[in-house]
Amino acid sequence: MWLIRAFEEKVSALYAARQIVGLLHLGIGQEAVAAGTCSLLRTDDYVFGGHRSHGHAIAKGADIKRLMAEIAGRATGYCAGKGGSMHIVAMDAGFVTATGVVGGTIPLALGAAFAAKENGKGQVAVVFFGDGAGQAGPFHESLNIASLWRLPVIFVCENNGYAEFTPLSAHTLVERLARHAQTYKIPSSTVDGNDLLKVRDAMAEAVRRARAGKGPAFVEFLTHRLRGHYEGDPAKYRELSQLAEWKAKDPIARFTRELKRKKAISDKEVEAIKDEARDLVERAAQFAIDSPWPAGEEVDSQVTA
Ligand SMILES: Cc1ncc(C[n+]2csc(CCOP(=O)(O)OP(=O)(O)O)c2C)c(N)n1
Ligand SMILES: [Mg+2]
Domains along the sequence of the chain with CATH: 2-281 (3.40.50.970)
The pLDDT of residue 168: 96
Q: Specify the DSSP class assigned to residue 96.
A: E
- Which amino acids bring their CB within 6 angstroms of ligand 1? 51-52, 100-102, 129-133, 160, 162-164, 229
Give the Cα separation of 73 and 19 in Å (integer): 10
The sign of the dihedral angle between the CA atoms of 105, 92, 67, 39 is: positive
Identify the residue whose C-alpha is closest to ligand 1 atom 6: 102
Q: What is the pLDDT of residue 305?
A: 66
Tell which one of 52, 102, 106, 108 to mutate to probe ligand 1, the residue whose CB is within 8 A of the most ligand atoms: 102
pTM as predicted: 0.98
Q: How far is the CA of 221 from the centre of ligand 1 (A)?
A: 17
| Number of the ligand closest to the Cα of 229 | 1
pLDDT tens per residue, range 225-255: 999 999 999 999 999 999 999 999 999 999 9
Atom of ligand 1 nearest to the CA of 52: 21
Distance 271 CA to ligand 2 centre (A): 31
Per-residue model confidence (pLDDT) at position 41: 98
CB 34 within 8 A of CB 305: no
The protein residue with its alpha carbon nearest to ligand 1, atom 5, reads 102
Which residues of the chain have a pLDDT value below 70?
Answer: 305
- 21-77 confidence digits (pLDDT tens): 999 999 999 999 999 999 999 999 999 999 999 999 999 999 999 999 999 999 999
Q: What is the position in ligand 1's atom list of the atom closest to the CA of 130? A: 15
Ligand number with the minimum distance to the CA of 164: 1
At residue 304, the pLDDT reads 76
